[in-house]
Amino acid sequence: MSPLTLGFSPCPNDTFIFHALINDLTDSKYTYDYNLHDVEKLNKMAIEGYYDITKLSFAALGNLTEKYGLLKTGAALGKGCGPLLVKRKDKKEINFENAIVAIPGEMTTANLLLNLYSEKKVKTKPMRFDQIFQSLVDCKADLGVIIHEGRFTYQDYNLEIVQDLGEWWEKKTSLPIPLGGIAAKREISDEILVDIEKSIGKSIKFAYKNRDVSKNFIKENAQELSGSVIEDHIKLYVNEYSLNLEETGIKAITKMFEMAKSIGFFPNYSNNLLAL
């Protein structure tokens, strides 16, 4: 059998999760041909069904459930880990109606949460997540929704939080915030999917037990982040829901999809979430 194609992001949580899998350290029956891309690029590539298995924002998966099913391992959910809506400290209070908001992509969960929070149409300016800080510094946007390691570095750019969108979600739903997950093509057989799902779980457990093995791979893809930020990133985004979504994780994702559909964000959601 040809290698399965796999796409995931260069963020420390993904490289931590997948290092053992792509290096044949999980006893998987299958091999993987992998590539790393920004999550919004992966979201767009999934529209064309580019990879067999791919990391996706949940905001993208909601419109792709006929093509991809969600695996129960490898996901990013949790508490205290949602996107942050920020502005420059020297800017006065900003009215949503007139503001331009820099977002890390139209198909990202960050953008979905912004829409759910604002309850009205927002003027957005999509860009790669790591360009949002500079767009605020240069006054090319009034507000920005930051993700990933931005939670740990936004103060370096003289920015302050307007709203923690994850905190808002948690208060509204009493559920962990779903950010992104690992999806597989519907056409892949259940036998293969079972192996993939288990192997991702084994890859995470291997990474926890052998932290030094994946250290260089994570670092070389982490866009020059410091060691402490990398560790904080992994601790925040790789947790019990990454090992298995379980009932609570699935409930949180389903709730998000229902809310998204109610505002017209998921016109194509088929109510068919899981791959298995």
Catalytic (active site) residue 19: no
Query: Rg of the Cα trace of the chain?
Result: 18
Q: Active-site residue among 19, 37, 148, 233?
A: 148
CA distance 96 to 168: 17
The arrangement of strands across the sheet holding 123-126 comes to 123-126, 100-103, 143-146, 84-88, 159-164
Within 13 Å, how many C-alpha atoms sit on residue 249's CB side?
23
Torsion of CA 255, 235, 107, 97, to 10 degrees: 80
End-to-end CA distance of the chain: 21
User: Coil, strand or helix: which one is 19?
Assistant: helix
Q: Which residues are catalytic?
A: 148
